[in-house]
Amino acid sequence: MVCYLELDEKEHVGRVRPKMTTENSMTRLCLLFFALTLLAGCANTETVARQDLADRKIEELGAASQKLSMRMDELSREMVDLKERLSKAEKTSRAETKSAPAPEAPAPKAVEPPPAPFSVKADKAEEKSPVEMELPAPAPRAAVEAPKPEVKDAKDGAAKVSPPPAPPVAPAPPDEPSALYSTAFAGYRNGKYAKAILDFEEFLQKYPDHDYADDAQYWIGESYFSQGEYEQAVVEFARLLERFANKARAADACYMMGESYEKLGQPDKAAAFYRRTVSEYPQSEGARRAKLKLKTP
């Protein structure tokens, strides 16, 4: 009886031990899986954090690049404004030089006869009986002598009339084209674009061949661009390229057509005009700005 009990106990212990070993293995596997899950979660969190940091840096760089581009555009516009002032001053100087009257030659001074002697002969017929007339000494001259209308020559008695003084030169009338152009440009600078457009158009109607004609056409396009009317700006800049292809403003107009198309959401056309500006006007300010646009991704 005792032997059977001992055998039963041994069998029971043998059955329990494998069961406990299996449970321990499962526990270890669960712990290992949980640890791996935690590690994977930490790794994912760190990766996401790094990605977020990289995205923020990219956004900051993009914002900085956009600010830099806007500042460069602003500086370019200031340079164009300065160039406009210099060009206007130069053209005004040339116009004044052309319209200035030639200096008049000084009026010839009347030749005064030598001062009369203290005694003169009364008449040629009386030369045989010299009768001399005593003349008083001349009075001291005043600071300004009265003009002498005529002087009789001692020999032939012919009258010499002094020429009348030259009339005063009337002041030159104001340069109407320059005044009208200045009024129009002042309207543009003060943000009165609609009025500036009307004034520049009036200037072109009155003086289509003036030295400022290409400038007036350019600022019409700039006025429409500043108002956000990019399609009409394209029309005006194209008109400048058609009429004044060899003028200084052609390069700026070609570049601004690129900017106008860029604002209209047509990057291919914009790039085409940027390339045209660089190829046709390589030494211009517009070409320099176009190169920067072409480098921008």
DSSP string, 182-221: HHHHHHHHTT-HHHHHHHHHHHHHH-TTSTTHHHHHHHHH
Judged on CB neighbours under 10 Å (0-12, 13-18, 19+), 285 is middle
Fold of 177-295: 1.25.40
* Whether 241 contacts 252, CB under 8 Å: no
Instruction: Report pLDDT digits (tens) over 184-220.
Output: 999 999 999 999 999 999 999 999 999 999 999 999 9
Per-residue pLDDT of the chain (297 residues; tens, 9 = 90+): 444 444 455 555 455 455 556 667 777 777 777 777 777 666 667 777 778 888 888 888 877 777 777 777 777 777 767 777 777 777 767 666 666 555 554 555 544 444 444 333 334 444 444 434 444 444 444 444 444 545 444 444 444 555 556 555 544 455 799 999 999 999 999 999 999 999 999 999 999 999 999 999 999 999 999 999 999 999 999 999 999 999 999 999 999 999 999 999 999 999 999 999 999 999 999 999 999 999 865
| Number of helices followed by number of strands (H, E) in the chain | 8, 4
Report the pLDDT value the prediction gives residue 165, as an integer from 0 to 100.
62
- The closest of 297, 217, 201 to 250, measured between CA atoms, is 217
Q: Is the dihedral of CA 23, 28, 29, 30 positive or negative?
A: positive
Q: Which two three-digit tokens encode residue 155? A: 């020999």
* Whether 200 contacts 184, CB under 8 Å: yes
Sequence-ordered list of residues with C-beta below 8 angstroms from that of 181, at least 6 positions apart, any chain: 88, 200, 203, 212, 215, 216
Pairing of strands 159-161, 150-152: antiparallel
d(CA 98, CA 94): 6
Phi and psi at residue 103, to the nearest 5°: -60, 135
* Whether 247 contacts 217, CB under 8 Å: no
Report the pLDDT value the prediction gives residue 291, as an integer from 0 to 100.
94
Report the pLDDT value the prediction gives residue 9, as an integer from 0 to 100.
52
**Residue 262: Cβ within 10 Å count:** 17
**What residues does each domain of the chain span?**
1-69, 177-295
d(CA 94, CA 25): 102
Token pair 């791996």 is found at: 36
Report the pLDDT value the prediction gives residue 116, as an integer from 0 to 100.
42
Report the pLDDT value the prediction gives residue 179, as an integer from 0 to 100.
94
For residue 169, the one-letter residue type is: V
- The closest of 297, 212, 222, 211 to 257, measured between CA atoms, is 222
* Whether 110 contacts 148, CB under 8 Å: yes
Q: Which two three-digit tokens encode residue 84? A: 């406009």
d(CA 215, CA 126): 84
